[in-house]
């Protein structure tokens, strides 16, 4: 049972060597590493070639003009020769036992999809923050039990990440989604590419062990408050794709639709705070406030924003955003900074 490790490479030379080495040092060595150079303009493409020359039995390199993250992943999937595909971003890394634990899980359960946990590595201070497990270790879902996975996908993004999954290659290759239609906007591409294989999987296994290191960069990009950028981040077409799958799953009930609406509001809040906290000047903050955030939501979501099923704090945040109450938002932001400092001991 060979694994195909798929790494899209685009202007990530600074981290790429560490990424590749984390695969090569795996205790489980039955794998191929497919590096998809998506038109890198730094030295990343040349670095891929040097590794291929050193490890020709392990590494394949595909060079292509820049087509974006989604299509780079799909090219890797199409080229994969392994029984299972796994995904690794060029600035992240696997823990040394990652493949061995995934193989053991597949052999023990016959899972078509294995989902595992990750942890965050903060580049600025080199601190580590584990992610809370979604389920107990070695939880297995099949038949009607898969509805628990669907429910989590409806209400949150904790199971979205493609990089914390091993997926039977045949399921990925059978997905006939028109990915070109989504390629211009890579936001939420993990969810987009997860929906079909999770739906078609006969068995899904979950491992609570943190097998993937997700790098959080010290120099985060300041979000532009331009309307087009905000709309891209919100990515309503992928959210609608999830809504379509809810019908396929038989989960377009009032209970699950409420979870779906809460998810959309949560995404709006996350994107607002990314922009608002990233604003460096009063003018930038004003630009964030002046954006019509309410226009991102449909009527059902706006009505749900008044629903008591949504927490009081989230209702407060939403009302402050749509009514442009800067003082309230600044107080919430200050409280958030205090909470973060307390968590990290700063």
Name residues whose C-beta falls within 8 Å of residue 200's C-beta, 6 or more positions apart in sequence.
112, 171, 174
Same domain, 166 and 247: no
Same domain, 31 and 64: yes
pLDDT in tens, 23-39: 999 999 999 999 999 99
Same domain, 211 and 232: no
Same domain, 69 and 121: yes
Domain span including residue 53: 3-216
Same domain, 320 and 238: yes
Tell me the C-alpha distance between 6 and 87, whole Å: 5
Number of residues in the chain: 346
Please say if the pLDDT value at position 164 is more than 90. yes
User: Which pLDDT band, with edges at 50, 70 and 90, does 225 fall under?
Assistant: low
What pLDDT is attached to residue 248? 97
> What's the domain count of the chain?
2
> In this structure, what CATH number is given to the domain that contains residue 51?
3.90.550.10
**Among 146, 235, 248, 155, CA closest to 198:** 146
For 219-256, give the DSSP string: SPPPPP--HHHHHHHH-HHHHHHHHHHHHHTT--SHHH
Pairing of strands 84-87, 93-94: unpaired
Q: Taking residues 166-171, what's their average pLDDT?
A: 98
What pLDDT is attached to residue 333? 87
Which of the two residues, 81 and 217, has the higher pLDDT score? 81
Q: Taking residues 186-209, what's their average pLDDT?
A: 96
pLDDT in tens, 261-272: 999 999 999 889
Please say if the pLDDT value at position 67 is more than 50. yes
Q: Is residue 221 part of a domain?
A: no
User: Which pLDDT band, with edges at 50, 70 and 90, does 219 fall under?
Assistant: very low
Same domain, 177 and 269: no
Ranking 82-91, 242-251, 333-342 by mean pLDDT, the lowest is 333-342
Q: What is the mean pLDDT of the chain?
A: 92
High-pLDDT (> 70) share of the chain, %: 94
């Amino acid at each position: 049972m060979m694994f195909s490790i798929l790494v899209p490479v685009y202007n990530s030379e600074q981290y790429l060597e560490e990424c590749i080495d984390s695969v090569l040092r795996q205790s489980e060595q039955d794998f191929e590493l497919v590096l998809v150079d998506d038109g890198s303009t730094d030295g990343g493409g040349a670095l891929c070639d040097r590794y291929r020359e050193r490890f020709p039995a392990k590494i394949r390199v595909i060079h292509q003009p820049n087509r974006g993250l989604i299509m780079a992943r799909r090219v890797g999937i199409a080229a994969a020769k392994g029984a299972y595909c796994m995904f690794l971003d060029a600035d992240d890394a696997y823990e040394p036992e990652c493949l061995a634990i995934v193989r053991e899980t597949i052999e023990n359960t016959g899972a078509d999809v294995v989902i595992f946990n990750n942890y965050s590595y903060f580049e600025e201070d080199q601190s580590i923050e584990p992610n809370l497990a979604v389920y107990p270790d070695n939880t297995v879902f099949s038949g009607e039990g898969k509805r628990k996975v669907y429910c989590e996908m409806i209400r949150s993004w904790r199971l979205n990440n493609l990089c914390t999954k091993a997926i039977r290659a045949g399921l990925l290759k059978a997905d006939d989604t028109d990915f070109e239609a989504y390629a211009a906007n890579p936001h939420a591409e993990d969810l987009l590419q997860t929906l079909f294989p999770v739906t078609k999987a006969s068995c899904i296994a979950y491992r609570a062990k943190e097998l993937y290191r997700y790098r959080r960069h010290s120099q985060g990009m300041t979000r532009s408050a331009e309307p087009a950028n905000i709309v891209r981040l919100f990515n309503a077409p992928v959210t609608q794709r999830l809504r379509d799958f809810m019908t396929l799953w038989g989960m377009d009930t009032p209970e699950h639709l409420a979870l779906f609406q809460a998810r959309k509001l949560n995404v709006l809040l996350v994107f607002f705070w990314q922009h608002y906290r990233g604003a460096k000047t009063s003018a930038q903050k004003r630009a964030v406030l002046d954006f019509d955030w309410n226009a991102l939501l449909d009527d059902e979501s706006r009505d749900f924003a008044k629903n008591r099923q949504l927490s009081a704090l989230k209702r407060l945040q939403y009302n402050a955003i749509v009514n442009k109450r800067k003082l309230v938002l600044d107080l919430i932001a200050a409280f958030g900074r205090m909470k973060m400092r307390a968590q990290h001991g700063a």
